[in-house]
Structure 1
């Protein structure tokens, strides 16, 4: 990071749902390094405690919460209010992956994906808005899959298309309050949901071959995009989707 970006979040409080690994954890680390007070959530207390310890404790608060549980979300917001008084930025990042042919998707799969990826995002933002001041920012984690069809992506990409649209409509809805709402669409990012090292060699190679950058992205690269969108440097960026994918959806590799 340059010196000009190291203090962008000094005095700011940021909520990151699904902050125990991958993009959420990388974003927590990035914003902590830029001076933020960070609140991360997760469903597993052990993983949450480990993430807080890894991030350095004092500037990071871990709260057990299921994004699809409205009672848990209400308790989360009360904890944030009691600890920090309010929020400046929300990164609605919690999500699950269900990757199956449409014929194999069960009702349980459908309910899980919609509950976490759409319902959870909607109500996280709804519950957080009273804690956000004018100038506050919401970033929703969408996905490159909403931009292209894929044989195993019918359910997952539909939920991501929903929250992509939600970012645009909430940008209009919350504009009178001075709150910006944007989404990001990561491509193939090396995370526990899509770990490059654990994929069959041919699958990993095929994924890289689709990307003009010829590699998987790193969680820290997504974190940098979130850090921009949540900062005052993006004060005139609203209702947009920032694709962080090495060119996957926009360019054909050589």
Structure 2
């Protein structure tokens, strides 16, 4: 049986790394790309099976994406699934502070997504899948999260556009919106994991604003990614699947 190939952007840690492992465990060939060479190589080395490769790619740079696309074309010819798990968390006020820092969230997560799709989708097979990891912040707000939320909301809408425009090729495009997931992005600037803080324990566990009373695991999101890539999701496109332990059903 010919192996299917998944391209995982942002696959060097967190949800991206868990997704790479899940696809590899299921017998897929995985191409892992991120802007951290050492972590990318570490993830690739840990994957079960063979034929996996890692790439150094900064999604803000069209030159990196063009080179990556050319390498995919030369080595694979085409691929079956594109998963975009690229994300950064840089708190910044909406109206104050360094605009360049604020804008970096959009450059990485929004424009990086658009550039990635423009570079790579010519090599995505007909009937392939596009899966973008966004966040419940696409419709929720927290202090300092305006740029992050704008990027995630825009990626959600961009994905709906892809679902419509790529439907003639049979390509399905969806997003997954995680809530609190225990990943390196949970570690804040002071080195503390917000999911182990008194604030999290009080608001989301003690007082029940998070019905399942725990943060999610990257593997729990990776499972949903794999579902969207498979045959049981053949009539789902342009949708948002929320993976948040019930957080957004409460008030």
Q: Same fold (TM over 0.5)?
A: yes
Give the Cα separation in 2 of the matches to 1:241 and 1:52.
Answer: 29
Give the Cα separation in 1 of the matches to 2:74 and 2:199.
Answer: 47
Tell me if structure 2 keeps the 8 A contact 1:125–1:138: no
Give the 5 Å matches for 1:158-173: 158-173=150-165
Question: 1:192: how far off?
Answer: 0.1
Tell me if structure 2 keeps the 8 A contact 1:168–1:240: yes
CA spacing shift, 1:183–1:105, aligned 2, 3 Å: farther
Tell me if structure 1 keeps the 8 A contact 2:24–2:48: no
Q: Find the residue that maps to 1:102 and give its secondary structure.
A: coil
Deviations 1:68-88 (A, max 9, x none): 111100111111122222110
Q: Match for residue 222 of structure 1? A: 221
Q: Match for residue 127 of structure 1? A: 119
CA spacing shift, 1:213–1:63, aligned 2, 3 Å: same
The answer to whether structure 1 residue 249 and structure 2 residue 244 are counterparts is no
Q: Match for residue 51 of structure 2? A: 59
Q: Which runs of 5+ in 1 are unaligned?
A: 1-6
Give the Cα separation in 2 of the matches to 1:203 and 1:41.
Answer: 34
Between stretches 145-154 and 237-246, larger displacement belongs to 145-154
TM-score for both structures, normalised by structure 1 = 0.90
CA spacing shift, 1:101–1:80, aligned 2, 3 Å: same
Q: Match for residue 87 of structure 1? A: 79
Give the Cα separation in 2 of the matches to 1:105 and 1:54.
Answer: 40
Tell me if structure 1 keeps the 8 A contact 2:127–2:170: yes
Give the Cα separation in 2 of the matches to 1:110 and 1:207.
Answer: 28
Q: What's the Cα RMSD here?
A: 1.9
User: Number of residue pairs matched?
Assistant: 244
Give the 5 Å matches for 1:74-223: 74-195=66-187, 198-199=193-194, 201-205=197-201, 206-208=203-205, 209-223=208-222
Between stretches 14-23 and 38-47, larger displacement belongs to 38-47
Deviations 1:134-157 (A, max 9, x none): 210000111011122222211111
Between stretches 18-27 and 76-85, larger displacement belongs to 76-85
TM-score for both structures, normalised by structure 2 = 0.91
Question: 1:198: how far off?
Answer: 2.3
Give the Cα separation in 1 of the matches to 2:162 and 2:100.
Answer: 28
Q: Which runs of 5+ in 2 are unaligned?
A: none
Q: Match for residue 238 of structure 2? A: 239
